[in-house]
A and B are shown apart, each in its own frame.
Chain A
């Protein structure tokens, strides 16, 4: 990283370039796009959580006037097993293909079994109602204990647990086992003065993006296709669709719309290949949008989990040993976020002896998708709750206990690598000094604190910087802007080139107009795509120096770039006037052609992010309702490129975490049918539930980024679960290990304690 520098625009709170279109309704989101002659596609979904498909009869539906195409699993090619890489979630292309459209079996209520394209959406509904499907119903497997039991009903009879030390002799619902260990766990616990243990459960929750999945697909008779859709990664939509349909990647163009939230949930595909096959059969463009009900039942939520944590510590608080047993629901197909959950669980702490065991488990629920720091909120909720109890038992301040064991530069992370500069201790120290840590509390009120961690990702990005004829700048990149990243790209290009922010415009281009980019996920865009923009701007500067040198008749290495101008280096004897970017651009035809800067990289060294969250709650003893009175989010951002949007990530993640802690859960009946598939009953936080969310940005620069940037988007959701639960523990004196801490659960715990 460069020496501490005085930034001109980095760190300012500029208005985002796409802002006006978003406050006026002009911005086009997934469902806003239409084509002439377009048909409306709809999906018939399984009414059973677990069943074999015996027969599908589409004859009656095909006869309805205005129905142009009907597809079932028979219209899709068979796809071989192959691991999906590059996205944020785990999975297999063969499973992705059957998740998109079931073949011989349905593995969750809402699984797609057929689809139609019709002239109007009302006709499409009528056609769906006319399709007859014969099912052989099977027992639904709806929770971890049932799924992992010895004689459990098998969701996939060919599934043998991967990763076990000894090859299993019979199939099971456990898709994978993973283990991390260091030292001698028995010896570590033997050294402890105190050993604490707890088992914690978290429910299935949804990302809750407000925009349902939507796309338009159009394929011509030559096999060339275009998809317009809302996605976190249009290159992933292209590669996944090509795998699922056996199409040539170069024949699919994906044009991303604005995206109305994703949080990891839009890093995979559901509708796109279905719309494509419908378009192929009908010869017309096909639009598909999910209803909210479909989003809940048939897109990928986050894993429900069961986590058992054990910690051994000396009287002074030093951890001697930790163990974690973690089971994550994958849904109907393998591939939960168990692995990152296992890697994160002890990441903030120095632990000489530990054992982490993780299980990826099939249940008859929708296949999970990534959800913001996938896997970490669940396992770290368990660990941070237990640390809170340990602090109470040892009579040590919870910040001091964490400080005593906190990782810093040079510590070996439980998941392997040595940390470079990280800001965990700085977050803890800031929490200790924060006025909210010592505010007086009233009756039935309590304060809780917890730590959060996420690795953050780098991965592949590319960017172009074009200098227009008047010296203005166009940045072309391929990372969908989900929360203001155009602004951060423009800030970085402006800083590097030394031009005002307003002279830079950023385009998120489609798969044919931008170089390849991995998904917008892993908190990687400002870090990795930002690095590509900085390097592409550097490419421009190098070219400008050459153009200036040629103009002046001196060597290019005698030219400097400063404040948006080419100048001779100090001491160079040249009687010339500085050349601005605008002057060089205006003259570019005479000095070698247009100025076009490019960069392409696989970014390494994403700086891990840490946080401390503090929650103050009041628990109503009559109803069990928990109100959040104050919430404080402290997080190391490395360097905040646009502080308002960094705060926004911290606040938004905090509130998603509060929802996870207090109210959100999938509620199923005994047949495996979700009972609350709507925003009225799946209760996400609303404005009147909340206080302002106080934020404090810590800046410990990431040595691997030119400006010190760390990812910031995912860390914020990790700590709130335990911060809120620890506050409820403080307010009530009762540890309720299972989330959500909804009024009925809290009230039951209060009454049980009284009895």
Chain B
């Protein structure tokens, strides 16, 4: 089967790559483009470790074909921080010890960013439902929820 040429913008940078028609976005990110910050936990859309944003919308990159990204914009964990500074969500994850092993963390950071982009002042319940597609087996979610609450406060410009 021939490969398809795809042009897409990833983390603000114009990229092009060749892929098999059946290859997932996740596989191309990790294996072709070397963006291994996006993790694979299940490849069936159940764990959220591969969360990325497609045109600003949260998706599981394992459930998307790479060819579908043609002409669109992707944000991965590598595009969350800018230059020398961590994004407030990342800072709050560190301050609140909201990670233990860290394998789910990139997915949670991306999913939290998608939430706060849309809803700057979510309730605890809204955060819990929004993040229900991201599995964490280490933390019991408590410190993750608190980190997202605190990051939301910081992003709203309120002192935490």
Contacts and interface: CB of A to CB of B under 8 A. Distances in A.
A651 B136 contact: no
Given A22-B102, A679-B47, A690 B39 contact: no
The residue in A22, A484, A655 that gathers the most chain B C-beta atoms within 10 A of its C-beta is A22
B42 A13 contact: no
A679 B135 contact: yes
A688 B94 contact: no
A16 B94 contact: yes
Contacts of A211: 39, 41, 101, 103
Given A24-B81, A651-B139, A678 B42 contact: yes
Contacts of A651: 139-143
Contacts of B135: 208, 210, 679, 684, 686
A24 B43 contact: no
B152 to A, nearest CB: 15
B138 interface: yes
Interface in A648-707: 648-649, 651-656, 678-680, 684-690, 692-693
A23 interface: yes
A261 B103 contact: yes
Contacts of B143: 644, 647-648, 651
B40 interface: yes
Interface string B1-43: 0000000000000000000100000000011000111111111
Contacts of B102: 18, 22-23, 27, 29, 258, 260
A261 B78 contact: no
Contacts of B142: 647, 651, 690, 692-693
A690 B128 contact: yes
Nearest to A631: B140
Contacts of B47: 210, 292, 679
Contacts of A594: none
Interface residues of B, number: 57
The residue in B20, B38, B44, B46 that gathers the most chain A C-beta atoms within 10 A of its C-beta is B46
A485 to B, nearest CB: 10
Interface string A39-64: 00000000000000000000000000
A656 B100 CA distance: 14
- The A interface is mostly helix, strand or loop, or mixed, namely loop
Contact of B93 (A23, A26, A685): A23
Contacts of A394: none
Contacts of B106: 23-25
Given A25-B78, A210-B104, A292 B137 contact: no
A23 B90 contact: yes
A13 B97 contact: yes
Contacts of A291: 43
B36 A25 contact: yes
B20 A122 contact: yes
Interface string A4-30: 000000000101101110111111110
Nearest to A650: B140
A687 B37 contact: no
B49 interface: yes
Contact of B78 (A13, A24, A652): A24
Nearest to B100: A483
Contact of B39 (A13, A15, A260): A260
Interface in B89-118: 90, 93-97, 99-106, 109
A736 interface: no
A24 to B, nearest CB: 6
A678 B46 contact: yes
Given A16-B97, A292-B41, A687 B127 contact: yes
A212 interface: yes
A259 interface: yes
Interface string B141-153: 1111110000000
A209 B97 CA distance: 18
Given A644-B96, A687-B128, A688-B128, A28 B140 contact: no
Contacts of A259: 101
B66 interface: no
Interface string A149-162: 00000000000000
A34 B33 CA distance: 13
Interface string B66-98: 000000000011101100001000100111110
Contacts of B105: 22-23
A692 B95 CA distance: 18
A659 to B, nearest CB: 9
Nearest to B110: A25
The residue in A19, A210, A652 that gathers the most chain B C-beta atoms within 10 A of its C-beta is A210
A260 B42 CA distance: 13
A645 interface: yes
Contacts of A649: 100
Given A31-B30, A648-B139, A687-B144, 20 more contacts: A16-B97, A22-B99, A22-B105, A23-B105, A25-B76, A25-B106, A258-B102, A258-B103, A260-B101, A261-B100, A261-B101, A289-B40, A647-B97, A648-B140, A654-B140, A655-B141, A656-B140, A685-B141, A686-B135, A687-B128
23 contacts: A13-B97, A16-B97, A24-B90, A25-B35, A210-B47, A210-B103, A211-B41, A484-B100, A645-B97, A647-B142, A652-B140, A655-B140, A679-B41, A679-B42, A679-B46, A685-B141, A686-B132, A686-B134, A686-B135, A686-B141, A687-B132, A692-B145, A693-B140
Interface of B: 20, 30-31, 35-44, 46-47, 49, 76-78, 80-81, 86, 90, 93-97, 99-106, 109, 125, 127-129, 131-146
| 10 tightest A-B CB contacts, nearest first | A25-B37, A260-B103, A22-B102, A655-B140, A651-B140, A679-B46, A25-B77, A644-B97, A483-B100, A23-B90
Interface of A: 13, 15-16, 18-20, 22-29, 31-32, 34, 122, 207-212, 258-263, 289, 291-292, 482-484, 642, 644-645, 647-649, 651-656, 678-680, 684-690, 692-693
